[in-house]
Amino acid sequence: MTLRIDTRAGAGVALVTLDRPDRHNAIDLETAGELADAWRAFRFDDAVRAAVVTGAGGRAFCTGIDRAAHVPQPPSPYSLDDPLLRIGPKAADLWKPVIAAVDGMACGGAFYLLGECEFVVASETSTFFDPHTTYGMVSAYESVLMAQRMPYGEIARLALTGTAERLGARRAHEVGLVSELTLPGEALPAALRVAETIAAQPTEAVQGTVRALWAAKEATRERALAHAPQLIALGNLPPERQAGLFEERRKGTPAPPRVR
């Protein structure tokens, strides 16, 4: 199993941990399936009234899709098979609140998860970035999801600078992406505390409030996501050129990213 689930029935909180620290908690197809199954299961579990999602190891929350994962694609630019589209709680029709606890890197496909959580608690040493443009890929789903959480200029800069810049946790807190800053290693305890507070409220009222909050922004989000497959098909470099850029960076000594 690449996902650990700790159901704290007494407190009404489930802890979901991405457990691939040797891969910076990158998501392979197995992990994507386990996440989708977990969110669906929580819909039917009355003992779970809130959830926290985090990454194991302290170095990364999640670094997106595992580069070793093979995802066959249909030839049409109007179709795109993306396993990360099903890893978020809202994709599973779960309206129980989910909080992200970030300690370390959160980048690229991690935004599929962060974009569908209610809010983010992060340690002050955490960083956020999107490597897509550096490797000749369009940041489509990631940018759309994070544009719902951040000012346009902030997500535009984050997405367009690729691996050259990282958004520090303090700046992420200033622009509203992060709800609470903690000391290193303290993001998870802080997230669990607030999750337990939420879980103690009447669950019908909590879920209705979550649904109302999402209703306020879903129309724009859905219309934007509908364009993503074509933008990716038109704007991505061929896979072999993407692989070449990854290999060049792996073998070279790129300048360290600027953290702002």
User: Do 189 and 102 contact (CB within 8 A), yes or no?
Assistant: no
Strands (E), the chain: 3-8, 13-18, 50-55, 60-62, 98-102, 105-107, 119-123, 127-129, 165-168, 180-182, 258-259
End-to-end Cα separation, the chain, in angstroms: 36
Q: What was the pLDDT predicted at 9?
A: 59
Number of neighbouring beta carbons within 10 Å of residue 185? 11
In tens, the pLDDT along 104-149 reads 999 999 999 999 999 999 999 999 999 999 999 999 999 999 999 9
Query: pTM for the whole thing?
Result: 0.89
pLDDT of residue 152: 95
Mean pLDDT of the region 160-166: 96
Residue whose pair of structure tokens reads 């977990």 in the numeric block: 38
- Give pLDDT tens digits for 3-41: 999 997 579 999 999 999 999 999 999 999 999 999 999
Q: Which residues pair with 120 in a beta bridge?
A: 100
Give me the long-range contacts of 152-161 (CB less than 8 A, separation at least 24). Answer: 158/128, 158/129, 158/130, 159/130, 159/132, 159/133, 160/133, 161/129, 161/133
How high does pLDDT run on average in the chain?
A: 92
Kindly report, residue by residue over 195-252, the tens digit of the pLDDT: 999 999 999 999 999 999 998 887 777 777 788 877 888 788 888 888 888 788 877 8
Inter-axis angle of helices 228-235 and 203-226, to 10 degrees? 40
Neighbours of 245 (CB within 10 A): 15
Which pairing describes strands 50-55 and 13-18: parallel, antiparallel, or unpaired? parallel
Q: Domains in the chain, ordered, with CATH? A: 3-184 (3.90.226.10)
